[in-house]
Every structure is written in C-alpha cells, then in structure tokens.
Amino acid sequence: MSDETGVRKLDSFSQELFRELFSPAGEKSAVTHQEIAEVKDLLQKTRENDLTQPIVDLFRLMHRIHRKKGQTPRDLSVEESELLQLAVKHQQIDEHEVTIGGRVLKALAIVENANTRAMEYVQQHPKKAPSGIELWDRILENQARIKKVLGMKQED
C-alpha cells in the first residue's frame, strides 16, 4: 500500500493497521461530538508541527473508534491519502524510524502491558520481595542469634 505519489511502501504493520481502519464493520454506533472534535484537533496538530505524538494519538484514537464503534476514518471525514502521508511522515521524523503500524499495533500494547506489570510489582513487592532496608531489624536479630549459637564475637 502506498500513497498516490508512490512516496513509500508501508511496512506490514502499517498495512495491517490501514486494512483494519478502513475495513467495514458490521454494527456501527455513533461517534460523540467530543471524539469528532478530538480527531479534528489532532489532525490540525499533525499539520502544524513535525512531532510524532499527535500522529500516534490520531491513529490510536481512530483505531479505538473503529474497534468500539465500527467507524472508519472516512466516516470521520479523514481521507486515506492524508493518513498515508502521516504514516510516512511519522516514520521519517521518528528517531528510531518506527512505523505508525508498529507503534500503534505492537509497541504501545507492549508498553501498556509493561506498565501494568510494573504497577503490580510496586504494589506487591513489600510483601513478596521486601528490600534489605525494610528487613534490617530482622537481619540484625538473625545475625545476633547466629553469633550466639556459634559463640562468635563481633570481631569474628
């Protein structure tokens, strides 16, 4: 898949994202005025600057709207040709040349999963893996008990 000027062929992740975004959905539900305004705002931001975040946010929003409400970008008055240009722009300005499909379909899911796991660890670590500082009093008690059983002095 490439834009009409043949600028660049999209990678398989981006092709998958475009196929999904533009595929017809069985049931469609209405998009809120807030969602439409957010799409328009993000489109404007992508036109005004050379940042990857507005492009990613736009594609994520459209992906979420398509999954939840069955609406395609065309239903939101966004043309495929403009999205193709944004996909190419994203890859060109991304410092690691990550494609929009790779970012939206793969990388963000990994980050969200990692964030969830990190939060679970932070909540559980005091019980399951407390630090030495948290156990310091217990460590000193064990040390004293071992010295006593072995008949050791501090110098030993």
Residue 7: pLDDT over 70: no
Identify the pLDDT of residue 1: 42
Identify the pLDDT of residue 120: 78
What is the residue-averaged pLDDT of the chain?
86
Cα separation, 117 vs 124, in Å, equals: 10
- Prediction pTM value: 0.67
Instruction: Name which of 88, 28, 11, 80 is nearest 55 in CA terms.
Output: 88
8-59 pLDDT tens trace: 578 889 999 999 999 987 788 999 999 999 999 999 999 999 999 999 999 9
Cα separation, 98 vs 103, in Å, equals: 7
Structural contact between residues 61 and 70, judged by C-beta atoms closer than 8 angstroms = no
